[in-house]
Structures are given as structure tokens and as C-alpha cells.
Structure 1
């Protein structure tokens, strides 16, 4: 029988579930609020750009901060900021003085807090569980995160919005506040011991970048996730225009659209529960390739059909593949990275992986303006296929094993 994951981990798990439920509501609620002000694909994409831009401008600093301070406290500060931002946004909506620029500002501020929270959360797990428990711990964490973020959050947002836009924004603020309380009950200190002379933030960031770039497998994985996030953001930012409203190609209601998005979450939940078994059955290299192929299918299908049942089935596979990829790659990073560097490694990785998201939203919006929304799905699916063909030459079972054997203590200079 496997060893228990421990009280600290399960409280983190609970807090993460609440926080991700809030994320799931916000990420659907804000675009649905935005379409009350505009139906322009470029302007709707601009909101997605504002929410993901912090991964370009703040990711490296967030990682360096996570390696300098107590990671639990960093997460508490981030959630406090998100609560305050949503409180102010609710006030503007209640007073009927809301606007698209205010949504942009709120989205950017929430994204800044998310950058620090997510970097710290991913870096804190190895401080709570043993190395041989990482795949199980990450799988359970992804299960609750994705269930809350994608399975419960989106349809809940669709149900809340008809009650009132202020309500749809107020509820996630309350959830973030509750997550903050649960996280405050996590016992222990999670500040990493740092040896040697005091260093500057800039030097810390450079060390994390060197560590990532010196390892071909980590470098290739980061670039691959960047390509995946670029393509999926370019397509999914526009999905609300493609799916919602009587004049859209799919002609779904807001609630139906939220339910469609839950198929991603159902697939993700399934993937999180069997990730360890898939890893053992296929091997990590083959499992990663299958995950990418499912992602390509997820992107391509709306370009060929508006049938929600077909799209739902392919999105299930896409969600399944995303979690298989994440559990394998996150656990690998945690195993081969020293604890003192994990925050910076994660932030450097996410700079390459998540930074392109903001660019993808802009490119997707422009392509939709020029060629139509349906063409964006096909262009992005083709682009992801090309990236997959490139990465399989670098990432396979042999190179992954070699990276683990290299160990976390190799010099980074």
C-alpha cells in the first residue's frame, strides 16, 4: 500500500481545488462579460492577451521570488491580490460603470497574481511529498485542479451570468478567499535553504535560465508546450464567438457552451486518474507523443464541423492528453531540479511555455479577422503537427532516462 501523502499536501490539494474553481469561473465569465461590450474578435482576443501577458513580463521574476520566500506565503499574497481585484471589479459592475478597458486591467492584474501563485504551487509539491510520490501527488493535484477549473467552473459561470454579471464575478472572489483560509492552515515553513553569498534577483533569474537551457530534454519540452499553448490559445480565445449566440456557427447558449467545455475537464480528470498507468504501459516517450496527437485532433475538429457531439468527443481526448503530458513532464522537472532552483526553473520553463499564449491570442484574433474563425482552427492544428514532428526527434524514452541519470546537481554555469 502506498505511503500517505500527508496533511500538508491534502490541505494544499483542497486550497488548490477552490482556487481553480474560481479560475474556471473567471476565465469564462470575463469573456462573456466582454461580449456585452463588443463582438469584435480582435477585442475579445485582447482580453485573453491581457490575462496571459504576465507570463511574458513577470514569469522569471515570479520564479526568483518563489525561491527566495516561503512559497506558501507567496501563494497567500497572490490570492489576496486576486480577491481585492475582483472586489473592485464587482463594484464597477454593480455601479454600471464597467467597460472593456477595465476588464483588460482586471485581467492583467489577475494574471500577475496567477503567475506567482502557479509558480509557487508547482514548486512547493516536492517539499511536501517524497520523490517516488511525485507522479501520484501531481496526478491527484491535476485531478482536482482540472475538475474544478474546467468541469465545474465553466458551467457554473454560465449559470451565474444570467443572474447578473456582478454575481458571476463576486463568486470567484469568495472562492479565492476561502482558498486563502485553507492554505493558511497548511503547517510548516516552505522557504528553501539558500547557501553561499547573497545574490541579486537578476543573477538568480540567469541561473534558472541556464539550468533549463543546458538540458536538451527540458528545453525541448518547454518549447513544445509553448507551441501547444500558442496554437490552443489562438483557437480557444475565439471559441466563444464561434459557439455562443444565435448568429454564431454553433448557435449554443452560454450554459450549453459551458457544458461543452466540461468535456475537456472530463477527459482531463480521466487522464489524471490513469496517468501513472499510461506512463507504465506506453513509456513516457510514447505517452507524450499520443498526448500531442490528441491535442492536434482537439484543435482541428471545429474546423471541420459544428456538431457539438463530435467536438465534445475530440475535446475529451484532448483533455486526456493534456493531463498525461503534464503529469509526466512536471514530475520529471521536479525530479531533476534542485529544490533551491525549482521556482526559477518552473518560471523559466513557463516563460517559454506560457509566454506564447498572449501572442497566440493576438495572432488568432487577426487571422479570424482576415480569414474567418474556422480557418484559425485548421491553421493552428497544422502548426501543432509540425511542432510535434520536430520534438519527437529530441524527446523519447532514452533521452528522458538520460536526463534523470544526469541528476539535479550538475553545474549550471
Structure 2
């Protein structure tokens, strides 16, 4: 099935944007640990970066359905580039502090909510809805490869070169992404005149999600999984990096180890359609949630970097399949005029747990230690599988037929 020139330009822009994102999110804690080794302060960076998904995501969804989605994405990436350029300047002048890193994380996270919500809402305007699973698989392949494979590896090398380079490089990449997206022609504003208030628009999107049994259950399942994952990853750098850490890795090796999920994710994205055809949608979702829990359990039982990386790769495969199924389903069953608001309401539940998880991870690391924290989060992640009682293949088929 031909996806069209506009899709491939969007695909290229997404690749550069996610390469910048992946570099920044790994470079940020690696630079921060040069300032402090306090678990609560390190976890606070993830809290600041993900807090906008809890606080701003609902109005962001309403904005996505009111204005041109491509223009919003261009503005969001330009803002992220400017923030990181300012941070690089502060580092060069030796005035950067952990509190400045918090402010940059919060600003970049807010821009991310705008970019990602618009990106998922714009795709059905670029390709036909029956081609969404294939388009999402191709999009996830480049996003995951850039965000989780090339980005972390680049971050480890850039931090070695210096904090200025670690922040300047992703700023430049976001500007390249802006240039690629600017070549996508057309207007991507939802047709129709709006006479309602922003609050009424938000309420309409929330009602759709609350009343849709499958989307509601999926949002809760992803929320539990992200809560557990955020709690573990917020302090994982303390477990892995430094001569006094359990794993004793250098920043470069840490960055390379974090490419393992991307290797699995790339493979999962490329075969997601075939896996789903063989297992069915519900079992494919179960595969993703189950392997995600495995990646959290691995550091609890071993400090061997190869074993942990292998678990990360398996989890990456399963989560990529999960994402193709879940996001394509959401795009297929939601009317386009509501897609921005439903995406944001869904992500408020599914991603809004991440800052809570980061705070939980910092607290538990103090109380029970890092290894026990990983065991607790793995057990918590497994409870997401209970949602498969509701999310069955029969109910998914019924929801698609009702569109």
C-alpha cells in the first residue's frame, strides 16, 4: 500500500525530532550526575520532564483540534531547540545548576506534549485510516530507532565531549526536523467552525474516552505500566553508572546499553502486522505488557550488563507491537474532529502517571534500595495484564465495526 510523499516527509521529520529527543533525555541525567548523586534530585528531572503530561495534556488536546496541527508541531520543535541552545550557553558560561536543568526539562516536556499529541492526531489526515497500522509501524520504526538506539548512543559520546555538545547537538537536530516538516504541504486544521469554549471541548473529549470501554481500559493499562517503568528508570542511572554503582558502567557504555530496547523495538515495529495477524490484537497487547515487566525485573536479579540489555531488547520488541496495535486502534475508532482531545485525555491517564512514578522511584530508592525497587516495579507492571479481561479480540472487532 502506497503511503504517499507527505507521509514520508513526516517520517523524515519524526526521525530527526526523535533523534534529538533521545539524545536529550539521556544526556540530561548524565550531565546531572556530574552535579549531584542525590537520588531524589536525579528522579526530579524525570518528574519535571513528564509532569506536563499530567498538567497540560487536556488543554493541549483541545488546542490540537482547534488549530493547524503541523504549525503547532513546528512551533514546539523550534521552542525545544531554543531551550537547549540557551542551556548550552549557560553551561559554557558555567552558570548551569540542577535547578536550571529542572526548568529546561519542564519546558521541553511541555513542548513535547504539543508535538506528540499533534503528531498522532495529524497522521490520519496524511494517510487513509485502513493504512494506519502500516503507517504507524513505519513511523514507530524510525522513531524508536532514533529515540532509543541512535539517541542514547550519541548522548554517551556527546557527554564525554562536554555538556555544551550534549545540549547543542539535539538543538540542531530539532531545527533540521522543523525544516523537514515545513516541506509537508497543506492545511492540517480540522474543518468546521468552533463556537464552544475550551472547557467544553475538553469535556467532550473526556466523555468520549470515559464512555469507550476499550480505550478506557487501555489507558489504565498503559498508565500502570508507565508508573512502574518511570519509577525504575528515574533512578536507574544511579544503579548503572559510576565506579560506586552496582553495575559500574561508564557513561558511554550506559548509553550503548540503552540502545538495546531500540534494537528490539525496530524489529517489533517491522513485524508488528505479522505478529498481530498471528496472535490477534489482545494477545499482542499482552506480549507488550509482559515483556515490559521483564525489563524491570532484570536489574533486580543481575548486574550483568549483557543480561539486562537482552531483557531490554525483548521488552522493546513487545512494546513496539503493543504501540502499533493500541495507537492504530485509537486512531481508527475516534472521529477526526475529536482525535486531539481523545489522544490528550488518553495520555493524561496513560502518561500522566510518569511523574508520579518518578517521585515514587526516588522515595522507594531511599526506603528499600535500588534492587528492591526494581522487583517492586516489575510486580506492579504485571498487574496491567488484568486489563485483558476487558480488552479482548471480540470487543476490539465490535468497536471497529461500530465506526
TM-score range, shorter chain: over 0.9
Q: Is the contact made by 2:62 and 2:198 (CA closer than 8 Å) also made in structure 1?
A: yes
Instruction: Please list the CA deviations of residues 264-309 of structure 1 after superposition, one character each: whole Å capped at 9, or x if unmatched.
Output: 0000000000000001000001111122111111111110001111
- For structure 2, the residue ranges without an aligned partner over 5 or more in a row are none
1:387 Cα deviation (Å)? 2.6
The residue that corresponds to 1:369 in the other structure is 366
Instruction: Please list the CA deviations of residues 94-151 of structure 1 after superposition, one character each: whole Å capped at 9, or x if unmatched.
Output: 0000000000000000000000000000000000111121011000000000000010
Matches within 5 A, 1:5-154: 5-154=3-152
Aligned mates of 1:236, 1:343 — CA distance in 2: 28
Aligned mates of 2:78, 2:158 — CA distance in 1: 23
The residue that corresponds to 2:394 in the other structure is 398
TM-score, normalised with respect to structure 2: 0.99
Q: Is the contact made by 2:68 and 2:189 (CA closer than 8 Å) also made in structure 1?
A: yes
Aligned mates of 1:45, 1:237 — CA distance in 2: 5
The residue that corresponds to 2:175 in the other structure is 177
Q: Is the contact made by 2:289 and 2:384 (CA closer than 8 Å) also made in structure 1?
A: no
Deviates more, 1:397-406 or 1:155-164: 397-406
Of residues 233, 243, 247, the one that matches 1:246 is: 243
Q: Is the contact made by 2:287 and 2:322 (CA closer than 8 Å) also made in structure 1?
A: no
1:37 Cα deviation (Å)? 1.1
Aligned mates of 2:370, 2:158 — CA distance in 1: 27
Of residues 322, 325, 329, the one that matches 2:326 is: 329
1:84 Cα deviation (Å)? 1.1
SS class of match (1:161): helix
SS class of match (1:80): helix
1:162 Cα deviation (Å)? 1.3
Of residues 277, 280, 301, the one that matches 2:277 is: 280
Aligned mates of 2:222, 2:256 — CA distance in 1: 26
SS class of match (2:389): coil
Instruction: Please list the CA deviations of residues 179-206 of structure 1 after superposition, one character each: whole Å capped at 9, or x if unmatched.
Output: 00111110111001125x6011110000
Aligned mates of 1:360, 1:67 — CA distance in 2: 29
Aligned mates of 1:35, 1:72 — CA distance in 2: 36
Of residues 185, 190, 212, the one that matches 1:192 is: 190
Instruction: Please list the CA deviations of residues 292-331 of structure 1 after superposition, one character each: whole Å capped at 9, or x if unmatched.
Output: 1111111111100011111111111100111111000110
Aligned mates of 2:157, 2:122 — CA distance in 1: 34
SS class of match (1:245): coil
Q: Is the contact made by 2:225 and 2:380 (CA closer than 8 Å) also made in structure 1?
A: no
Aligned mates of 2:217, 2:38 — CA distance in 1: 35
SS class of match (1:53): helix
SS class of match (2:378): helix
The residue that corresponds to 1:217 in the other structure is 214
Aligned mates of 2:162, 2:282 — CA distance in 1: 47
SS class of match (2:351): helix
SS class of match (1:189): coil
The residue that corresponds to 1:410 in the other structure is none
Q: Is the contact made by 2:232 and 2:296 (CA closer than 8 Å) also made in structure 1?
A: yes
1:354 Cα deviation (Å)? 0.4
The answer to whether structure 1 residue 338 and structure 2 residue 335 are counterparts is yes
Aligned mates of 1:312, 1:35 — CA distance in 2: 22
The residue that corresponds to 2:267 in the other structure is 270
Aligned mates of 2:314, 2:210 — CA distance in 1: 31
List structure 1 runs of 4+ shifted beyond 3 angstroms: none
The residue that corresponds to 1:411 in the other structure is none
Aligned mates of 1:253, 1:288 — CA distance in 2: 35
Aligned residues: 403
Aligned mates of 2:310, 2:401 — CA distance in 1: 39
Aligned mates of 1:129, 1:332 — CA distance in 2: 15
Instruction: Please list the CA deviations of residues 345-377 of structure 1 after superposition, one character each: whole Å capped at 9, or x if unmatched.
Output: 100000000000000000001000111011111
Aligned mates of 1:28, 1:314 — CA distance in 2: 19
